[in-house]
Amino acid sequence: MSMSTRFNFTDMRHGTSLLKRGFAKMQEGGVIMDVVTPEEAHIAEDAGAVSVMALERVPADIRAQGGVARMSHPDMIKEIIETTSIPVMAKARIGHDDEAKVLQSLGVDMIDESEVLTPADPFYHIAKNDFTIPFVCGCTNLGEAIRRVAEGAAMIRTKGEAGTGNVVSAVQHARLVKEEILHAKNTDSNGIEEMVDVIMKGFNRMPSVSEFEISIKNTPFGSSSELKKEVKSILLEVIEMERLPVVTFSAGGIATPADAALMMNHGMDGIFVGSGIFKSSDPKTTAEAIVLATHRYQDPDSVAEASRMIGEAMPGLEIETLDVRMENRGW
């Protein structure tokens, strides 16, 4: 039997949960950078990024310009796919299955169901197990992370507060997830059941806005009873592993090499950087410096070297002054 007969390499690239998580695992220890042009994609690749996120506007511009933020134009995404040799990701709106279908058709390597874009569905996220390519989703706490994994996410990231250049929310989310995992580990069987019930409430938002006493028995992710079993299974896996069962990156507000090192030292598996690079005074050098600090985060001398490399970081925003808190998007 020939090699081509025995193996379908296209099927091997995409499809099963194992393969999706395997692709996410390949990004571990690296930096994923937001880019808006092929030129920026080349800067990211040359700096050592493991992947790029193709979008029309970095989060700082989305925040400043306001309005409805949607999936980027297919031509722009395709151009970046065709001009870089590293994996290309792209963002879809929360709950917008058809934006995700378009991105899958375009050939992106991973979809970010992103709170940076304007949510499309007020009740549910995308049923990610229905797709052949992996998804990354944001979280602010353990319950949110487990819901996204139950829906099929192959990678989780802290949401942070994108486009601010302020790392405080990313730190909050990383610390909270870690502490809630410790809480789960020290909880008895009754406590585990209570945690599962709390997590399940995130799938049951519709009754609160209905005029009638409706009861949700089926979701886009399966029946409520099946989903509850999956949530409990993931929670028990988290307790056994003492971490999330998928690769976990940090995102939102990372603007300096020291920020990247800080999040890696909080136990993150890698870093997403958006506005922090291309809103700095020297994007090329800033990209190289953040990659260096991410790789050598345990060595203060290397982080200091990376910090000396950069010019002026992007202007930052105080979280308390924001009109829109993107971290609150998603359920």
- Identity (one letter) of the amino acid at 236? L
Choose the catalytic residue: 20, 25, 78, 91: 91
- Identity (one letter) of the amino acid at 52? V
Tokens read off for 233: 């299974």
> What are the beta bridge partners of residue 111?
90, 135
- Identity (one letter) of the amino acid at 158? T
Torsion-angle region of 25 (φ positive above 0: left; ψ -120 to 50: alpha; else: beta): alpha
> What are the beta bridge partners of residue 197?
none
Q: Where are the alpha helices (DSSP H) in 214-253?
A: 224-241
Half-sphere CA count of 223, side-chain side, radius 13 A: 3
Beta strand extents in the chain (DSSP E only): 31-35, 51-54, 88-93, 110-114, 135-139, 155-158, 218-219, 222-223, 247-250, 270-273
Between strands 218-219 and 155-158, the pairing is unpaired
Separation between Cα atoms, residue 32 and residue 63, nearest integer Å? 20
Residue 279: active-site member? no
Tokens read off for 134: 């992996």
Q: Which residues are catalytic?
A: 91
